[in-house]
Amino acid sequence: MKIVHLIQHTHWDREWYFTENDSRTLLYYFMQDLLTRLEQDSALGPFMLDGQTVVLEDYLQVAPEQRERLQTLIRQGRILIGPWYTQTDFMVVGAESITRNLLLGKADGEAWGGYMPVGYVPDSFGQSAQLPLFLREFGIDCAVIWRGWCEHDVPASEFTWCAQNGSRVTTAVLPWGYGCAKWLPVDAAQAAQHLPAILEKQARFSLTGNLLLPNGNDQSPCEYAVPAMLDTLNHRQQAYRFERSSFTAFFSALQATGCPLPVWRGELLSPKYMRVHRGIYSTRMDIKQLNARLEQFVSQTLEPLLAMNGRLGLPYPQQALENIWRGAMKSQAHDSIGGCNADRVNRMVKARLCDGLESAQQLFELNMAMLAGGITACREGKKIIVFNALPYERDTHVRLTLYTPQPDFCIVDEAGVACRWQLLHEAPQDMSLIVQELANSTTTTWYRKCDILLEVKALPACGYQTLFLQEGEAAGFDTASDAIDVLENRWLRLALIHGQLTLEDKRSGQRYPGVLRLVDGGDAGDNYNYSPPPEDWKISSDGCLTGRHGVRGPLNDTLTLTWRIPAPRDAAAREARQCNAALEVTMILILPHDQPWLDVEIEVNNTLRDHRLQVEIPVGVSQAFHFADQPFGLIERENQPAALRHWQAENWTEAPASLWPMQSLVMLHNETRGLCVVTEGLREYEIPAHQPETLAITLFRSVGWLGKPDLLWRPGRASGMALPTPDSQLPGLYRAHFAVLPMAQGQNASFWRAVEQWRTPACGYLDTGWSRFRTNPHGLHFPARYSLLSWDCGLHFSTLKKAQHGNALLLRGWNPGLTPLHCGQPVAEGSCRRVTLAETPTGETDEVVTAGTPVSWLID
């Protein structure tokens, strides 16, 4: 006899083709019905509320008076909540966001009376190889997933799943989804005819006689008559024993069988049985970039600044930060961040991220102003505060905007030594738009607005130093720029030869011709999936260069290139081979004098529809695998998935295309040759089938439908709803930013240090004395130079923040590569102890950190 574990639940999308306002209104009536049914029938339950506590938050917004009823049922274990705050995506959302999602979900669950200790991930578009790591760090040893699994990866629907560092969780797959047993007949005779087909499919890949029967669906109410109907079936047949159950009870029963489970290491992105929608990595790339910018700014700039200021005596606005994170997480749910929504919803997703960034930037400005206000100037001039979040001292360049009425200015350090800087851009500025006190003036005050790059030496570890802007003084060094044709420093050389860019690594002598070639092709897909037209017509930047201008400045070399690329306006024009529009593209290539990377900024005026724009980077390395980053780790992937050879014959739900997600980095290399691309918010790359030695970075794609049927790479029904989404064509100006790093000696320590330097810039603040808002002086005094702590090791910095509970600080780093690293202990005032991502004691004392492993310290 097989034991069938009935899991009654709902899958609650907060937004999709409907808005969060729609779902919150529905939630009021859904919860009213659920609470009443459970109170009236003590035999009902448990009912699982989709594993995310945000549902409770939403409900209390419309029914705060129901808190006590709800909390009683949660404490009784009849409503199961958590462990997540929202059902996040795992492929394009960052590691700190995933960590905070569980941290806030855990805090919510504990406040409500307990949470489900199961990593329930019912609808994420693919599964990260690091999911077991996150769960085990929070004391969770079981996971339930749906999308991404197939028997070609692991032969059973129950298995042991190992993360990169060896963290293990027992995992169960819902092979036919969380809605496979929705809307069951309540008549036992009818159910007896209906259920066997469902249960046979559920048992197809199962190793034991324990089967999961998920009874629920999207925004579906509790099917309260089902348990009694199954009780009746228990008396009418002997093949199955139906139990009112939970995932926790299922895993206990699975363990009791003693059945050995197969082991799987890696991610799960197979679309054999269920679509994983690989196109979401590049859908609404503007939203992806904004999310990445918010994640990075809050975790690696704002929180470290607030942590430092807190130790100096300023208040730490913990609730304000939590509000920012909660707002971001509402935009990081699988549909939301995927961009596979109605246009109205995507606007709401973007607005939440903009709100979070606005709040974060205001916190930054006010805290830098308060910091500057406590520093006594030791030089003439306006104070410039330069902050370094990284826990080691470094020399760096900082972008800074200055407003000055003077034609000349000098920036000096505490000793009066002039600092070098380079003018990036200058424009006149009406100061009444900047300074509140001038807003009502009858005269206009014009200043120079100067965007500069400032060289800073020996910037303290996790700290700041003070410089001084002296207006009307000569710069103190030669600021002249020279016209050039070639960019060159001690490591690299970039030349434009016959309209093609060639990058040379002077360390190894390796040359990379044809880099940064723009290629525009058709996209016949929708918000879920890229799909090539039946006969694509690709247009490149070859022969379309209209302008070039090279400059050698004090700190870097710059080459500005402009293209006008004739191209089809839309799908119809592409099919007709008609170039009736053009892409106007500007590319700014920057080669720092003191760093081994090429910085790339691209601006596109997008007037086209139904297309995808990529930048191709030929590497010239012939091998079967490459590497990309994943949350707190690195993953090795096939250049061309083997499943491409048989997906059509096996009727897969979509093509296992060589379109891959990344956090920010992809590299293709061997021992002597290779290139790495590090991006700011770009989440998708491809290794084209006909160009296996090329990295193609997707800049963006333009599509006009939420869902379309019968795509070339996704046959059959439309995903989602067949709704027009004209905003997803991304009309107007679009910008992208990334760096190219040649890999002369593979993944060595200097390479990883360069990667971290690029993606974690220092920041500056000019204390002009002007402000939109006034605050009273705090009366504190700070040194002109300060370092909170240091932790100089090979780990990459993840965050520094106040602990979730108490006044300790939480410092986190992670091993980004493939080899173990020695981490040592931070040097700081106060005691240091190792903790988990959940900020609980770990007892770990080993200073050798395995690949793909985060290390967190509490500093009292």
Q: Give the confidence band of 120 by pLDDT, cuts at 50, 70, 90.
A: very high
Strand-pair partners of 389: none
Average pLDDT (634-648) is 94
Tokens read off for 109 = 């669950």
For residue 566, pLDDT beyond 80: yes
Q: Give the confidence band of 211 by pLDDT, cuts at 50, 70, 90.
A: very high
For residue 440, pLDDT beyond 90: no
For residue 843, pLDDT beyond 90: no
Average pLDDT (837-847) is 91
For residue 436, pLDDT beyond 80: no
Residues 597, 754 contacting (CB under 8 angstroms): yes
What is the model's pLDDT at position 844?
82
Q: Is 804 helix (H, G, I), strand (E, B) or coil?
A: coil
> In this predicted model, what pLDDT tens digit does every residue of 389-401 receive, in sequence order?
999 999 999 999 9
Residues 337, 291 contacting (CB under 8 angstroms): yes
Tokens read off for 236 = 């009418």
Q: How high is the mean pLDDT of the chain?
A: 96
Average pLDDT (181-186) is 96
Q: What's the rounded Cα separation, in Å, for the pair 504 and 231?
A: 73
Average pLDDT (205-222) is 97
Average pLDDT (634-642) is 95
Average pLDDT (195-222) is 96
DSSP assignment of 418-450: BPPEEEEEEEEEEGGGT-GGGTT-SSPPEEEEE
Tokens read off for 361 = 């930037």
What is the model's pLDDT at position 441?
74
For residue 438, pLDDT beyond 90: no
Q: What's the rounded Cα separation, in Å, for the pair 754 and 258?
A: 49
Active site residue 123: yes
Q: Give the confidence band of 773 by pLDDT, cuts at 50, 70, 90.
A: confident
Residues 729, 702 contacting (CB under 8 angstroms): yes
Between 285-299, 808-822, 840-854, the lowest mean confidence (pLDDT) is in 840-854
Q: What's the rounded Cα separation, in Å, for the pair 628 and 92?
A: 12
* Element holding 454 (H helix, E strand): strand 446-459
- Residue 281, phi then psi, degrees to nearest 5: -65, -25
For residue 481, pLDDT beyond 90: no
> In this predicted model, what pLDDT tens digit does every residue of 312-331 receive, in sequence order?
999 999 999 999 999 999 99
Q: Give the confidence band of 712 by pLDDT, cuts at 50, 70, 90.
A: very high
What is the model's pLDDT at position 444?
83
Tokens read off for 777 = 């002086």
The burial of 132, by beta-carbon neighbours within 10 Å (0-12 exposed, 13-18 middle, 19 or more buried), is given as buried
Q: What's the rounded Cα separation, in Å, for the pair 468 and 489?
A: 29
**Domains of the chain (ranges, CATH numbers):** 2-274 (3.20.110.10), 486-746 (2.70.98.30), 793-860 (2.60.40.2220)
Average pLDDT (621-626) is 93
- 611: CB partners within 8 A, 6+ apart: 520, 521, 522, 523, 567, 568, 574, 701, 702
Question: Which among 617, 618, 625 is positioned nearest to 682, based on CA atoms?
Answer: 617
- 234: CB partners within 8 A, 6+ apart: 241, 242
Q: Give the confidence band of 434 by pLDDT, cuts at 50, 70, 90.
A: confident
What is the model's pLDDT at position 832?
95
Tokens read off for 816 = 């980004």
* Element holding 135 (H helix, E strand): helix 131-137
- Considering the chain, what percentage of its residues have pLDDT values greater than 90? 95
pTM (2 d.p.): 0.97
Catalytic one among 50, 89, 123, 413?
Answer: 123
Q: Is 358 helix (H, G, I), strand (E, B) or coil?
A: helix
For residue 445, pLDDT beyond 90: no
Determine the angle formed by the axes of helices 303-311 and 343-373, rounding to 10 degrees.
30
For residue 437, pLDDT beyond 80: no
Q: Which residue has the tokens 């709100």?
A: 355
Q: Is the pLDDT higher at 776 or at 345?
A: 345
Tokens read off for 102 = 């569980």
Task: Provide the edge-to-edge strand list for the sheet that holds 263-265.
Answer: 119-121, 142-145, 168-173, 158-162, 263-265
Residues 34, 27 contacting (CB under 8 angstroms): no
Q: Which residue has the tokens 């360049």?
A: 397
> In this predicted model, what pLDDT tens digit does every residue of 824-839 receive, in sequence order?
999 999 999 999 999 9
State the pairing for strand pair 210-215/2-9. Answer: parallel
